[in-house]
Amino acid sequence: MRSGEAGVEKSLEDWERKTQGREEGEGGEVLIRNCSMEEVVQKIHEGSTLWKVRGVNKWFHRHYKVDVDNMSLVGESKKWWSPGGGLGSDGPENAVPLLEVTEVREGWRTDTFNKVSSHSEKLKEKAPGEEPLLEENRCFSVIHGAGGREVLDLVASSEEERDAWVSGLAYLVQSVKVLHEERQYDVWLRKQFEEADKDNNGSLNFNECCALLKQLNIKMDKIHAKKLFNQANTSKLKRDGEQVLEVDEFVSFYHSLLKMPEVEKLFKKYASEKTLLMSADQLLTFLQRDQGLSSMDDTGATKLINEYELSDLKDKGYMTQDGFYHMLLSDMFDVFNSHHQNNIHQDMNHPLSHYFISSSHNTYLTGHQLAGESSVEGYISALKKGCRLLELDVWDGDGGEPIIYHGHTLTSKITLADVLRDGIKAYAFEASPYPVILSIENHLSIDQQKVMVKLMKEILGDMLLTEPVSEDLIAVPSPESMKNKVIVRGKKPQGNEVESDDDDDDQDTIDYIDSDDGASQSKKKPHKPLAPELREVVNVCEGKKFISFQNAYETYKCVNTPSIGEIKAKSLFESSPDDFLKFTERNVTKVYPLGTRTDSSNLKPYPFWSVGCQIVALNMQTEDKANFYNDALFRTNGICGYVLKPGILLREEPYSPTELTDRYTKVLRVTILSGQHLPNSAKKGDIVDPYVQVKVRGHPQDQQKQRTKVVKNNGELDLV
Using DSSP's 3-state secondary structure scheme, residue 276 falls into coil
406 part of the active site: yes
- In one-letter notation, the amino acid at residue 656 is S
Mapping DSSP onto H, E and C, the string for 5-43 reads: HHHHHHHHHHHHHHHCCCCCCCCCCCCCCCCCHHHHHHH
**DSSP code, position 55:** E
For residue 388, how many C-alpha atoms fall within 13 Å in the half-sphere facing its CB?
Answer: 28
Instruction: Identify any residues that bridge with 616 across adjacent strands, giving them in sequence order.
Output: 591
- Residue 667 backbone phi and psi in degrees, to 5: -105, 125
Helix extents (H) in 444-588: 446-460, 549-555, 566-575, 577-586
Is residue 11 packed enough to be buried (19+ CB in 10 Å), middle (13-18) or exposed (0-12)?
buried
**Measured in whole angstroms, how far is the alpha carbon of residue 622 from the centre of its chain?**
12
For residue 595, CA distances in Å to 248, 307, 501, 523, 591 come to 53, 50, 21, 11, 12
Any catalytic annotation for residue 345? no
The Cα–Cα gap between 421 and 111 comes to 12
Distance of alpha carbon 302 from alpha carbon 272, whole angstroms: 16
Contacts for 427 with CB less than 8 Å, ≥ 6 apart: 379, 380, 383, 384
Q: How far is CA 561 from CA 476, 566, 659, in A?
A: 11, 16, 27
Q: Which of 641, 271, 637 is nearest to 428 (CA)?
A: 641
Q: Which of 326, 354, 361, 408 is catalytic?
A: 361
What is the C-alpha separation between 325 and 316, in angstroms, rounded? 19
Please give the C-alpha separations between residue 593 and each of 229, 614, 620, in angstroms, as whole numbers. 54, 15, 12
The active-site residue, picked from 326, 350, 406, 408, is 406
- Rounded distance, CA 601 to CA 621, Å? 9
Which residues are marked as active site? 361, 406
